Homo-oligomer: A and B are copies of this chain.
Amino acid sequence: MTTLGYAILGLLAREGLSGYDLTQRMKGRVGYFWSARHSQIYPELARLEDGGFVTHSVVEQRDRPDKKVYEITDVGLEALKDWVTEPPPEKPTRDELTLKAYSVWLADGEEAARVFRAEGLKHEEQLARYEEIRSWMEDEWREDLSSPGSPHFASYATLQRGIIHERGYAEWCRWLAEAVGGEISISGRGEA
Protein backbone atom coordinates (compact mmCIF):
# COMPACT_ATOMS: atom_id res chain seq x y z
CA MET A 1 0.00 0.00 0.00
CA THR A 2 1.30 3.47 -0.89
CA THR A 3 1.14 6.54 1.34
CA LEU A 4 -1.28 8.07 -1.12
CA GLY A 5 -3.51 5.03 -0.53
CA TYR A 6 -3.61 5.79 3.18
CA ALA A 7 -4.27 9.46 2.46
CA ILE A 8 -7.33 8.44 0.46
CA LEU A 9 -8.46 5.95 3.11
CA GLY A 10 -8.06 8.68 5.73
CA LEU A 11 -10.55 10.83 3.87
CA LEU A 12 -12.94 7.98 3.08
CA ALA A 13 -12.93 6.89 6.75
CA ARG A 14 -14.80 10.12 7.43
CA GLU A 15 -17.23 10.17 4.50
CA GLY A 16 -17.95 8.59 1.14
CA LEU A 17 -16.41 10.59 -1.69
CA SER A 18 -15.96 10.50 -5.46
CA GLY A 19 -12.58 10.70 -7.17
CA TYR A 20 -13.43 14.27 -8.02
CA ASP A 21 -14.24 15.10 -4.38
CA LEU A 22 -10.98 13.53 -3.28
CA THR A 23 -9.10 15.59 -5.84
CA GLN A 24 -10.62 18.81 -4.48
CA ARG A 25 -9.61 17.90 -0.92
CA MET A 26 -6.08 16.94 -1.99
CA LYS A 27 -5.48 20.15 -3.92
CA GLY A 28 -5.13 22.81 -1.29
CA ARG A 29 -3.84 20.22 1.19
CA VAL A 30 -6.32 21.87 3.58
CA GLY A 31 -5.93 20.65 7.13
CA TYR A 32 -3.50 17.93 6.31
CA PHE A 33 -0.15 17.48 4.74
CA TRP A 34 -0.54 15.48 1.59
CA SER A 35 -1.52 16.35 -1.94
CA ALA A 36 -2.14 14.63 -5.25
CA ARG A 37 -3.60 15.28 -8.71
CA HIS A 38 -6.55 13.47 -10.16
CA SER A 39 -4.26 11.58 -12.52
CA GLN A 40 -2.73 9.88 -9.49
CA ILE A 41 -5.95 9.51 -7.52
CA TYR A 42 -8.07 7.62 -10.08
CA PRO A 43 -5.57 4.78 -10.63
CA GLU A 44 -4.95 4.57 -6.88
CA LEU A 45 -8.70 4.20 -6.23
CA ALA A 46 -8.76 1.31 -8.69
CA ARG A 47 -5.87 -0.36 -6.86
CA LEU A 48 -7.57 0.19 -3.49
CA GLU A 49 -10.74 -1.39 -4.82
CA ASP A 50 -8.73 -4.28 -6.24
CA GLY A 51 -7.26 -4.87 -2.80
CA GLY A 52 -10.68 -4.77 -1.17
CA PHE A 53 -9.98 -1.59 0.81
CA VAL A 54 -12.79 0.40 -0.80
CA THR A 55 -15.96 -0.21 -2.84
CA HIS A 56 -17.83 2.11 -5.11
CA SER A 57 -21.40 2.69 -6.25
CA VAL A 58 -22.47 4.80 -9.20
CA VAL A 59 -24.64 7.75 -8.25
CA GLU A 60 -26.72 9.25 -11.04
CA GLN A 61 -27.10 13.02 -11.01
CA ARG A 62 -29.53 15.27 -12.89
CA ASP A 63 -27.60 18.44 -13.64
CA ARG A 64 -24.15 16.83 -13.71
CA PRO A 65 -22.31 13.76 -15.00
CA ASP A 66 -22.82 10.61 -12.93
CA LYS A 67 -20.21 9.88 -10.30
CA LYS A 68 -18.65 6.94 -8.51
CA VAL A 69 -18.91 7.32 -4.77
CA TYR A 70 -16.25 5.36 -2.89
CA GLU A 71 -16.74 3.95 0.61
CA ILE A 72 -14.09 2.43 2.85
CA THR A 73 -14.54 -1.28 3.75
CA ASP A 74 -13.88 -2.95 7.10
CA VAL A 75 -10.63 -4.27 5.63
CA GLY A 76 -9.67 -0.72 4.63
CA LEU A 77 -10.54 0.68 8.03
CA GLU A 78 -8.46 -1.98 9.76
CA ALA A 79 -5.47 -1.37 7.46
CA LEU A 80 -5.70 2.38 8.07
CA LYS A 81 -5.94 1.93 11.83
CA ASP A 82 -2.86 -0.32 11.88
CA TRP A 83 -0.89 2.05 9.68
CA VAL A 84 -1.47 5.01 12.02
CA THR A 85 0.59 3.46 14.81
CA GLU A 86 3.39 2.09 12.65
CA PRO A 87 6.49 4.27 12.99
CA PRO A 88 6.84 6.24 9.74
CA PRO A 89 9.86 5.58 7.51
CA GLU A 90 12.40 8.40 7.56
CA LYS A 91 11.93 10.42 4.42
CA PRO A 92 14.37 13.19 3.58
CA THR A 93 13.07 16.74 3.81
CA ARG A 94 13.54 18.62 0.56
CA ASP A 95 13.05 22.35 0.68
CA GLU A 96 14.04 24.43 -2.29
CA LEU A 97 14.01 27.77 -0.48
CA THR A 98 16.39 26.48 2.19
CA LEU A 99 18.57 25.15 -0.61
CA LYS A 100 18.61 28.63 -2.11
CA ALA A 101 19.60 30.01 1.28
CA TYR A 102 22.64 27.72 1.17
CA SER A 103 23.91 29.65 -1.86
CA VAL A 104 22.60 33.07 -0.84
CA TRP A 105 26.15 34.31 -0.24
CA LEU A 106 26.54 34.54 -4.05
CA ALA A 107 23.51 36.76 -4.59
CA ASP A 108 22.90 40.45 -4.31
CA GLY A 109 21.71 41.22 -0.80
CA GLU A 110 18.75 43.38 -1.75
CA GLU A 111 17.50 40.94 -4.37
CA ALA A 112 17.78 38.04 -1.96
CA ALA A 113 16.03 40.01 0.77
CA ARG A 114 13.11 40.61 -1.60
CA VAL A 115 12.75 36.89 -2.28
CA PHE A 116 12.84 35.87 1.37
CA ARG A 117 10.54 38.69 2.41
CA ALA A 118 8.05 37.65 -0.26
CA GLU A 119 8.18 34.02 0.84
CA GLY A 120 7.85 35.06 4.46
CA LEU A 121 4.73 37.02 3.59
CA LYS A 122 3.19 33.97 1.93
CA HIS A 123 3.73 31.91 5.05
CA GLU A 124 2.32 34.67 7.25
CA GLU A 125 -0.78 34.75 5.08
CA GLN A 126 -1.16 30.99 5.24
CA LEU A 127 -0.67 31.21 9.00
CA ALA A 128 -3.45 33.78 9.24
CA ARG A 129 -5.80 31.54 7.23
CA TYR A 130 -4.98 28.56 9.44
CA GLU A 131 -5.53 30.57 12.61
CA GLU A 132 -8.91 31.67 11.35
CA ILE A 133 -9.88 28.05 10.76
CA ARG A 134 -8.60 27.16 14.20
CA SER A 135 -10.80 29.79 15.81
CA TRP A 136 -13.74 28.44 13.88
CA MET A 137 -12.98 24.87 14.99
CA GLU A 138 -12.62 25.93 18.62
CA ASP A 139 -16.03 27.56 18.47
CA GLU A 140 -17.86 24.87 16.50
CA TRP A 141 -16.20 21.71 17.77
CA ARG A 142 -15.47 22.65 21.37
CA GLU A 143 -16.28 19.27 22.99
CA ASP A 144 -14.73 17.13 20.23
CA LEU A 145 -11.35 18.82 20.60
CA SER A 146 -10.72 17.05 23.90
CA SER A 147 -11.82 13.66 22.49
CA PRO A 148 -8.91 11.93 20.70
CA GLY A 149 -11.42 9.42 19.31
CA SER A 150 -13.19 12.07 17.28
CA PRO A 151 -12.25 12.86 13.65
CA HIS A 152 -12.64 16.54 14.50
CA PHE A 153 -9.87 16.21 17.04
CA ALA A 154 -7.62 14.69 14.36
CA SER A 155 -8.38 17.51 11.92
CA TYR A 156 -7.53 19.99 14.64
CA ALA A 157 -4.24 18.18 15.29
CA THR A 158 -3.12 18.42 11.65
CA LEU A 159 -4.15 22.06 11.55
CA GLN A 160 -2.06 22.63 14.65
CA ARG A 161 0.90 21.16 12.78
CA GLY A 162 0.24 23.56 9.92
CA ILE A 163 0.16 26.54 12.26
CA ILE A 164 3.44 25.62 13.93
CA HIS A 165 5.03 24.99 10.53
CA GLU A 166 3.96 28.31 9.02
CA ARG A 167 4.88 30.27 12.12
CA GLY A 168 8.40 28.84 12.14
CA TYR A 169 8.86 29.24 8.41
CA ALA A 170 7.70 32.84 8.43
CA GLU A 171 9.98 33.62 11.36
CA TRP A 172 13.00 32.20 9.54
CA CYS A 173 12.21 34.08 6.32
CA ARG A 174 11.91 37.37 8.18
CA TRP A 175 15.15 36.75 10.03
CA LEU A 176 17.05 35.87 6.88
CA ALA A 177 15.62 38.74 4.82
CA GLU A 178 16.67 41.10 7.56
CA ALA A 179 20.16 39.58 7.75
CA VAL A 180 20.91 39.66 4.01
CA GLY A 181 19.17 42.90 3.07
CA GLY A 182 18.59 44.84 6.20
CA GLU A 183 16.31 47.75 5.32
CA ILE A 184 12.68 47.02 4.46
CA SER A 185 12.11 49.16 1.38
CA ILE A 186 9.47 51.71 2.31
CA SER A 187 9.91 54.82 0.19
CA GLY A 188 10.96 57.78 2.26
CA ARG A 189 13.02 55.67 4.64
CA GLY A 190 16.44 54.03 4.47
CA GLU A 191 19.55 55.02 2.57
CA ALA A 192 19.77 55.15 -1.27
Q: Shortest beta-carbon distance, A102 to chain B, in Å? A: 4
In this complex, what residue of B is CB-closest to A3? B96
Contact of A106 among B13, B103, B115, B176 (CB under 8 A): B13
- How long is the Cα–Cα vector from A114 to B86 in the complex, in angstroms? 10
| A114: chain B residues within 8 A (beta carbon) | 85
A136 on the B face (CB < 8 A): no
In this complex, what residue of B is CB-closest to A173? B161
Q: Shortest beta-carbon distance, A68 to chain B, in Å? A: 22
Report the copy number of this chain in the oligomer.
Answer: 2
Q: Is the CB of B29 within 8 A of A105?
A: no
| A99: chain B residues within 8 A (beta carbon) | 3, 6-7, 10, 32-34, 158
| A7: chain B residues within 8 A (beta carbon) | 99
> Interface residues of A toward B: which range?
35 or more
A20 on the B face (CB < 8 A): no
- How long is the Cα–Cα vector from A169 to B91 in the complex, in angstroms? 15
- How long is the Cα–Cα vector from A115 to B165 in the complex, in angstroms? 20
Listed in ascending order, the chain A residues whose CB lies under 8 Å from chain B are 3, 6-7, 9-10, 13, 29, 31-35, 77, 80-81, 83-89, 91-109, 111-112, 114-115, 118-119, 148-151, 153-155, 157-158, 160-161, 164-165, 167-169, 171-172, 175-176, 179-180
